[in-house]
Amino acid sequence: MNYAGTMKFKVNEIFKSIQGESSFAGLDCAFVRLSGCNLRCSYCDTAYAYKAGRYMSIDEIVSKTASLDTHIIELTGGEPLWQPNTRELIDALVNLANGRARKTEPDIIKPRLLIETSGSMPIENINPDAVIIMDIKTPSSGCSQMMLLDNLNHIRPVDEIKFVIGDRKDYEYSRKMILDHRLTQRCGVLLSAVYGRIEPRKIIGWMLKDMLKARFQLQMHKYIWPVDKKGV
Ligand code: SF4
């Protein structure tokens, strides 16, 4: 399909690996990493995507992503909703994933587009076939005040919310958000550890003590490849 116009997006990298996070962890995935981010989280591991990148049309992005031939596609960043007109790019990537879904034998793993966003950009009116994996930034990120609370009105059961925990204060903040907004009744909820800042078992201990109904996760790719390796 040809997408009209001269619309271009600054792309940091497009690569194939396995999905390292969320309930889709472990599946083959094509990552489309857009450049630029409106936040500066203390633990950011993709600072290389703040500026670097090259401009690509929607057709070029779709063509490169299609060539990677994966079940899952993830639009990430930086912050993937920060550049203008990303809804059009999302529609094109959803079409690609849906085309795959129609060709594949029906099975549990349905080809999907995932969008990994920081929670600081509006998520309303995004193509309903995309799955949104949205951070709620915790205090130690230094960016929790940038969260758009209105986004919680647009989260659906198919989506997932992620808290990245660096210390006990982050955990208490996350627990309060989960309970106050009944998040576990509305979508999947993920708790993750800031790599190298906190022992994962500490968070797990707190979760078990509180019987917190959320899914603990590790950033799988950081345990498979060197932590600062790009393109994995
Ligand atoms: S939102 Fe993501 S890309 Fe942006 S600064 Fe925070 S961790 Fe880094």
Reading the block at residue 206, the tokens are: 């707190």
Does some domain include residue 189?
A: yes
* Parent domain of 184: 8-224
CB 166 within 8 A of CB 198: yes
Going by pLDDT thresholds of 50, 70 and 90, the confidence category of residue 219 is confident
- Distance (Å) of CA 135 to CA 71, 132, 205, 209: 23, 10, 22, 24
CATH number at residue 116: 3.20.20.70
Q: For the chain, what is the domain count? A: 1
What distance in Å separates the CA atoms of residue 227 and residue 80, rounded to the nearest whole number? 22
Chain segment 183-199, per-residue pLDDT in tens: 999 999 999 999 999 99
> What's the 133 CA to ligand 1 centre distance in angstroms?
14
Q: Is 190 exposed, middle or buried (0-12, 13-18, 19+ CB in 10 A)?
A: buried
Q: Is 231 among the domain residues? A: no
How far is ligand 1, taken at its centre, from the CA of residue 219, in Å?
Answer: 15
pLDDT in tens, 121-158: 999 999 999 999 999 999 999 999 999 999 999 999 99
Q: Is 118 in the pocket of ligand 1 (CB under 6 A)?
A: yes
How far is the centre of ligand 1, averaged over its atoms, from the C-alpha of 149 (Å)?
18
Please indicate, yes or no, if residue 3 is contained in any of the structural domains: no
The structure's pTM equals: 0.94
Model pLDDT, residue 230: 80
**Average pLDDT rounded to a whole number, residues 68-77:** 95
Taking the C-alpha atoms of residue 194 and residue 57, their distance in angstroms, rounded to an integer, is: 34
